[in-house]
Chains A and B, each alone.
Chain A
């Protein structure tokens, strides 16, 4: 891998971890529904998906979960597996959406945000062998839509800024 690209991806990875930590300090969202959050780190994943490649976005996403595990949630804790499930499903859905649909960054972000919730619920159901958590799903779906739109618009701003105004080709 080219050194320039490696450096840029590493800085983006660090940025996504910082955004994740910052988000943990906002207790507002998880007060509405357990597990709900804005998903600021997804800005970086979307950015890498649209300006680098889906492979880079995949590794960034997984490494982010592992780093977050080391720094805040604890490796192989319940929250670690929840994040991992959410991140994996969200990545798969966003990569497919970018490749096969005509959705813009915003639509892809909304799908990613929903996939993150669904992934988390699936992992939670597997972890404690209890299907009753499905009651959270409509609420998480409904709240994932505005958070997905906000994250999508922010990602769109950064992608346009770097591609058009700075003329940087990653």
Chain B
């Protein structure tokens, strides 16, 4: 490893930490909702202020995707894909976290809940 390598690695570490800090700091306090996308279409919105456990199903590219919400957290419970990466990921609850199910073209994101009377569609 030479000096240039050291400088490069240092800059890259700083850049990735700055990126993380930016995502952490851009999170807003207040009520949240989980938004489920199929490609760029919103297919489901879940109010995350509710405490009780609820199960939803949406149509993915490879079949049905089961999504569970509980205590302000949301996870993909089951889905049909080769590696099951998105159901292994578990619960997410912050706006800088996302669950991506590439084979099913499903993305679960957390967003601020602006409308107080938002109901799960």
Whether B100 pairs with A133 at a CB distance below 8 angstroms is yes
- A158–B96 CA distance with the chains assembled, in angstroms: 40
- Inter-chain CA distance A133–B12, complex, in Å, is 20
What CA separation (Å) do A107 and B7 show in the bound complex? 9
In the bound assembly, the distance between CA atoms of A137 and B2 in angstroms comes to: 26
Interface residue tally on A, bucketed by range: 20 to 34
Residues of B within 8 A of A133 (CB): 98, 100, 107
- Cross-chain contact A104 with B5 (CB below 8 angstroms): yes
Is the beta-carbon distance between A128 and B4 smaller than 8 angstroms?
no
Structural contact, A31 and B88, CB atoms closer than 8 A: yes
Closest residue of chain B to A24 (Cβ to Cβ) is: B83
Closest A residue to B15 using CB positions: A141
Q: Indicate if B9 sits at the interface (CB-CB under 8 A).
A: yes
Check A139 against B100 for contact (C-beta < 8 Å): no
- B88 surroundings in chain A (CB, below 8 A): 31
Stretch of B17-25, B51-59, B66-74, B113-121 with 4 or more beta carbons under 8 angstroms from chain A = B17-25
Instruction: Mark B residues whose CB is within 8 Å of A.
Output: 1-2, 4-5, 8-9, 12-13, 15-17, 19-20, 23, 37, 39-40, 82-83, 85-86, 88-89, 96-98, 100, 102-103, 105, 107, 109
Q: Find chain B residues with CB under 8 A from A135 CB.
A: 23, 96-98
Interface of A is mostly: helix
Contact with B along A33-47 (1 / 0, CB 8 A): 011000000000000
Neighbouring A residues of B97 by C-beta, 8 Å: 135
A122-135 to B contact mask, C-beta < 8 Å, 1/0: 00100111101101
Q: Assess A128 versus B105: contact at CB under 8 Å? Given A114-B12, A133-B98.
A: yes
Q: For window 98-142 of chain A, which residues contact chain B by CB distance below 8 Å?
A: 101-104, 106-107, 110-111, 114, 124, 127-130, 132-133, 135-139, 141-142
For A103, the chain B residues whose CB sits under 8 A away are 2, 4-5, 8
Query: Which of the listed residues A104, A127, A138 has the most CB atoms from chain B within 10 Å of its own CB?
Result: A138
User: Which chain A residues lie closer than 8 Å to B23 at the CB level?
Assistant: 135, 138
Take A124-B102, A133-B98, A133-B100 as given contacts and tell me if A30 and B83 are in contact as well, using a CB distance cutoff of 8 Å: yes
Question: Among A35, A78, A132, which residue has the most Cβ atoms of chain B within 10 A?
Answer: A132
- Is A129 a contact of B39 with CB atoms below 8 Å? yes
Q: Closest Cβ of chain A: how far from B65's Cβ, in Å? A: 13
Is B103 a contact partner of A145 (Cβ separation < 8 A)?
A: no
